[in-house]
Chains A and B, each alone.
Chain A
Amino acid sequence: MPRHKAAVAVFAALVLAGCTTDKPAATTRPAAPATSAQGSGTGTQSKFFVQADFDAQLAMRSQTPQGPTDKPWEQAIAPKMTDTAKYKKDGPYHLCFSNAAVDNPWRQVGWKTMQAEVGLHKEIGKFTALDAEGKDDKQISDIAELQAKGCDALIVSPNTTATLTPAVTAACGKVPVIVFDRGVQTDCPVTFIKPIGGYAFGADAAEFLVEKVPAGGKVLALRILPGVDVLETRWSAAKVVFDKSQLKVVGVEFTDGDAAKTKSIVSDYIQRYGKIDGVWMDSGATAVAAIEAFEDAGVPVPPINGEDQQDFLQKWKDAGLTAVAPTYPTYQWRTPIIAALKILKGEEVPKMWNLPQPKVTSENLSTYLKPNMPPLHYALCGCEDLPGFPETWGGKKS
């Protein structure tokens, strides 16, 4: 019988290994509707929620950004400039980039855009990029490795907020550091570049639903995974909006960004409640799967939010949906390169570089829907004027 015993042992080990390497995505909901203390069913507020940031971001939505209107990636909202004279040096420059990952279409589009931006500048002698493949430990060693390569400036797109903070803090002492996309919990980088932020995204989508869904309507909230600041803030802002509204949030579910799982979750909710009156999403990647769940159930698609992905915009137009797409523009990948060059030339940059964050609405939908781009392309790439467009981004010349 030893063969069987060995098989049992190895098998159990494999199963355990399989479970622990999964993303921390699948967690139980903060509060099931039945046990929720709040009537709105949104659960407890995220520990990432900061009231002052929330207020600031919501206010920024109506402020006019400074800078060229045709280049939103160079614009800044309410910038407080910081002096960079001490970093001034002569070119050619060696720029380094520690990337969290290129594991989703949003990052793919952004990464291509960044490389194209690098190509525009002759004064960049060398561009070294390391991909952390979504692993915190790899990114920590990547950042350390890049410091040893004689970089003139270091750009970081952190994988997770808290874990990468010490690594970024350590790098700050040696080179000018530019952080973008996700944040870190220190203000040591010379500049932190981001669109207005997650609160604005989450609130834009939630306010749209509050406006379009009749009072008492049932809303399903779909999140990718917990623990990433840009995603946590999206949901925490939506929670604030929903808590003040007459809407009932019947479920807050994590989808792992997986289309099949999203479709199953939405189908289950349609079955369970008979009717879902609105869908809120913290990202639009699986919006089409959610829409198809309604189509396949033979019920009308309720008001929903997505993102500026082509497949969602196409579906929106074809099916005449009631929808909105707050964005997290991929054009922000151009800004760190521009910022790095400004810093190395001793020009001042905003300490907090807040980029405008447009919203796709039914009025401007047709300007963002580009028929020759692939389904997973992000419309706000700001890449149309870059060399290699559209082929580099997977598009076809029209």
Chain B
Amino acid sequence: MKRALPILAVLVVLLAAIAVANPLFLEPAGFLAFLKRAAPLVILAAGQYFVIVSGEFDLSVGSLVTAEVVIAARLIDGDESATWPVLALLIVVGLFVGLVNGVVTTKLRVPSFIVTLGMLLVLRGAVFLWTGGAPRGALSEGFRVFGRGGLGPMPWSVLILLAVGAAAIWLMRADFGRTLIATGDNERAAALSGVRVGRAKIFAFMLSGLAAAVAAILLGGFAGVSAQAGQGLEFSAITAVVLGGVVVGGGRGSVPAAMAGAFTLEALFTLLNLYGISGALEFTVQGVIIIAAVAAGAIRLPRKFTPRRGDAHAAS
């Protein structure tokens, strides 16, 4: 939790700045609208965290989101009764894409940024081929409820976000979390001490695919059918994770910090927009953040030589 403190401080400052620019933000409705909009990115960041902390990348999540939204629209085609089966199918597709990414990365030993970059292109091409660039069909009202509606004043997307966050924290506190961090920290050492490195990584990719499916359900619900639903989301998710202090290369960082990173990024975009600066600067800001965060991570690297709690455990 200590690692999340710096990013939480930045987040609080940004939220305060937004509140100054727009007092409406302090009211529940304004703040909930912010949470609702941030939810897909935060969920994606949680998924991306599992992959990054295990020492890999998942660049395919953006096009997976697009593919899921397009598939949902085509299969539902405005038919309310198709909503739940299609929702289930979307989850299965997300898990399957993650499984493929994971298996190719671990069993065929292809670096994950190549595998997922390939997956990005495969999905983008498949969507284009299937739709010809113009998605067909329509989402049902029942589907859109998750992105637009709410339980009383509480948007569904915020409730789903809370559930995903709780599940992610629980997973990281369970044996799986320790295994994953050990894998990312030193794959060889972890393997020698009996960790099934490949299996842990495959699970991480599947969780990322699952997160993309959930994010797609929320995004499709929020904005409707679009062939650009997930454009650029992979970079936003990775930016959010490194912003949360998770070390690229794996082994260090916490999931609450990664999710706080996503909130911070979304708050930053909101703030830029409130001050009338948007568009290209968003990309620039994202780029600067990634470079700065990774550089900061690299500077801290020598600490690896100093004994840490984990090392002491291993030695005892």
* Chain A contact patch, size range: 35 or more
Residue B6 at the A interface, CB < 8 A? Answer: no
Which residue of B135, B226, B298 contacts A260 across the interface (Cβ within 8 Å)?
Answer: B226
Q: Are B294 and A11 in contact, with the CB atoms below 8 A?
A: yes
Is A18's beta carbon under 8 Å from chain B? yes
Q: Point out the residue from B134, B228, B234 that lies within 8 Å of A108, measured CB to CB.
A: B134
* B280 adjacent to A374 (CB under 8 Å): no
CB distance from A124 to the nearest CB of B (A): 23
B151 touches A (CB below 8 Å): no
Q: Are the CB atoms of A101 and B133 closer together than 8 Å? A: yes
A-B contact count (CB 8 A): 144
Q: Of the candidates B24, B113, B276, which one forms a contact with A271 in the assembled complex, judged by CB atoms under 8 Å apart?
A: B24
Cα A262 to Cα B37 in complex, Å, equals: 12
B32 to A: closest C-beta gap in Å: 11
Residues of A within 8 A of B37 (CB): 264, 267
With A11-B57, A394-B136 already in contact, the answer to whether A28 and B277 are too (CB < 8 A) is: yes
Interface range on chain B (Cβ under 8 Å from partner): 35 or more
On whether the beta carbons of A296 and B280 are closer than 8 Å, the reply is no
* CA A193 to CA B315, docked complex, whole Å: 79
Confirm or deny: A12 has a beta carbon within 8 angstroms of a beta carbon on chain B. Answer: yes
Chain A residues whose CB sits within 8 angstroms of the CB of B228 once the complex forms: 256-259
Q: Which of B91-99, B196-204, B217-225 contacts A (4 or more CB under 8 A)?
A: B217-225
Binds A, one of B101-109, B205-213, B255-263, B283-291: B283-291
Contact A268 B232 (CB under 8 A): no
Question: Do A292 and B59 touch across chains, with their CB atoms under 8 A apart?
Answer: no
Interface residues of A in 261-300 (CB under 8 A from B): 262-265, 267-268, 271-272, 274, 288-289, 292, 296-297
Indicate which residue in B132, B223, B276, B287 contacts A289 across the interface (CB closer than 8 Å): B223
- B221-241: CB near A (< 8 Å → 1, else 0) gives 011111111011011001000
Closest to B247 in A: A4
Listed A/B pairs (24) with beta-carbon separation below 8 Å: A4-B249, A7-B248, A12-B290, A14-B113, A15-B291, A16-B287, A26-B279, A26-B283, A27-B280, A101-B133, A103-B128, A103-B134, A104-B133, A107-B134, A258-B226, A259-B225, A267-B37, A271-B24, A272-B22, A274-B24, A288-B224, A375-B225, A376-B225, A394-B136
A104-B133, A107-B134, A374-B138 given; name 7 further pairs at CB < 8 Å: A102-B132, A102-B133, A103-B134, A253-B279, A259-B226, A292-B148, A374-B136
| Residues of chain B having any CB pair with chain A under 8 Å | 21-22, 24-25, 30, 33, 37, 57, 59, 113, 117, 128, 132-138, 148, 219, 222-229, 231-232, 234-235, 238, 248-249, 270, 273-274, 276-283, 286-287, 290-291, 294-295, 297-298, 301, 304
